């Protein structure tokens, strides 16, 4: 049975207003057009839907059953339109982001604060994970975009945009003050207790690769889950901390920690924005990216 959905719309508004006249005014069509629409619907269904009364119209028993389903469906459509419009107008919606502790703290957080103040109705979900996992979340469509740290390898359909330079350093506390101001070589690190990240994070991978290329393989004293904990271990003189400089910056500035100097510097790397070619980006996510200086519209 192929019935024009416009007839059901007319049927809905006749019941909503209790008359053909009210439906005509709501739909901005003539009353004869409403009558014709109802007549065609009844002919297609093979049964009357209304009984005319002095006060307007009344549903037949069959009409009452049909209306319970039509009302539910049409009101869901109206609700969907309302929610859609609110999302377009940035009154509500959701943004799903992938970020590590480091990219969240030293790049994304300030933008999220600004965005939330401007659009408090938008829900922001941040999936906290290292770069390899964030890439997988993007591939699976579980995030709209990610902020990751290089180095990494991404699939060809992933767009990668560098957004901020970062620097890996080795820092030490008062126990190792005799090293301050000296120019070291990377192999000197093999004689020192090292505190670094565990696992396959981009930070650990990058530093290990740089040292390996210089013939140095570290055997860390402590391997920890977060860079913040590395800094705390270093402050307590448990070893030389391997971190991105941002984590130790305030302690370097205060003199509690100092940065080790080497003949060869570890090259800078970057925080990167990753978006997937197959992942549609919502209006809200586009607005946040625009705040971040990444206008993808």
In this structure, what are the phi and psi dihedrals at residue 281, rounded to the nearest 5 degrees? -105, 125
Q: Which residue has the higher pLDDT, 200 or 18?
A: 18
Mean pLDDT of the chain: 89
> At residue 147, does pLDDT exceed 70?
yes
Give me the pLDDT at residue 91, please: 63
Sequence spans of domains, the chain: 5-88, 93-165+270-291, 168-267
Total length of the chain:
297
Per mean pLDDT, which range of 110-124, 191-205, 283-297 is the poorest?
283-297
Region 168-267: CATH code: 3.40.190.10
Give me the pLDDT at residue 177, please: 96
Give yes or no for a contact between 109 and 47, defined as CB atoms under 8 angstroms apart.
no
Kindly tell me the burial class for residue 269, based on how many C-beta atoms sit within 10 Å of its own C-beta (0-12, 13-18, 19 or more).
buried
Give yes or no for a contact between 157 and 141, defined as CB atoms under 8 angstroms apart.
no
Average pLDDT over residues 216-221: 93
5-88: CATH topology: Arc Repressor Mutant, subunit A (1.10.10)
Check if 93-165+270-291 and 168-267 are the same fold.
yes
Residue 96 C-alpha from the chain's centroid: 2
> At residue 107, does pLDDT exceed 90?
yes
Give yes or no for a contact between 210 and 266, defined as CB atoms under 8 angstroms apart.
yes
pLDDT digits (tens, 9 = 90+) for 57-91: 888 888 888 888 888 888 888 777 766 776 665 66
Give me the pLDDT at residue 230, please: 97
Residue 290 C-alpha from the chain's centroid: 14
Give me the pLDDT at residue 202, please: 82
Taking the C-alpha atoms of residue 55 and residue 19, their distance in angstroms, rounded to an integer, is 8
CATH class, 93-165+270-291 region: alpha beta
Give me the pLDDT at residue 27, please: 87
Q: Which residue has the higher pLDDT, 90 or 40?
A: 40
Give me the pLDDT at residue 189, please: 96
Give me the pLDDT at residue 136, please: 92
> At residue 32, does pLDDT exceed 50?
yes
Assessment of whether the complete model's pTM goes beyond 0.85: no
Per mean pLDDT, which range of 126-135, 160-169, 230-239 is the poorest?
126-135
**DSSP string for residues in 76-144:** HHHHHHHHHHHHHTTSSEEEEEEE-HHHIIIIIHHHHHHHHHH-TTEEEEEEE--HHHHHHHHHTT--S
Q: Which residue has the higher pLDDT, 93 or 222?
A: 222
Average pLDDT over residues 217-246: 95
Give me the pLDDT at residue 297, please: 46
């Amino acid at each position: 049975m192929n019935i024009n959905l416009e007839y059901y719309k007319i049927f809905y508004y006749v019941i909503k207003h209790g008359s053909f006249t009210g439906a005509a005014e709501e739909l901005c069509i003539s009353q004869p057009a409403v009558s014709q629409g109802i007549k065609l619907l009844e002919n297609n269904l093979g049964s009357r839907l209304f009984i005319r009364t002095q006060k307007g119209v009344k549903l037949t028993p069959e009409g009452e059953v049909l209306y319970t389903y039509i009302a539910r469906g049409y009101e869901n459509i109206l609700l969907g339109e309302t929610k859609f419009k609110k999302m377009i107008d940035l009154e509500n919606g959701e943004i799903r982001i992938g970020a590590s502790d480091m990219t969240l703290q030293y790049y994304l957080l300030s933008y999220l604060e600004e965005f939330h103040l401007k659009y408090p109705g938008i829900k922001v979900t941040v999936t906290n994970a290292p770069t390899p996992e964030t890439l997988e979340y993007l591939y699976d469509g579980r995030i709209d975009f990610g902020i990751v740290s290089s180095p990494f390898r991404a699939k060809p359909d992933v767009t990668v945009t560098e957004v901020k330079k970062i620097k890996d350093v080795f820092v030490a506390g008062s126990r190792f003050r005799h090293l301050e101001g000296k120019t070291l070589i990377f192999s000197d690190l093999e004689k020192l207790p090292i505190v670094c990240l565990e696992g396959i994070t981009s930070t650990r991978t990058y530093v290990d690769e740089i040292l390996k290329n210089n013939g140095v393989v570290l055997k860390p004293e402590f391997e920890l889950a977060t860079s913040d904990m590395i800094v705390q271990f270093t402050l307590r003189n448990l070893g030389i901390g391997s971190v991105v400089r941002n984590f130790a910056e305030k302690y370097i500035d205060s003199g509690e920690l100092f940065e080790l100097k080497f003949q060869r510097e570890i090259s800078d790397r970057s925080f990167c924005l990753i978006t997937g070619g197959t992942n549609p980006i919502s209006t809200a996510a586009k607005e946040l990216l625009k705040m971040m200086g990444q206008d993808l519209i």
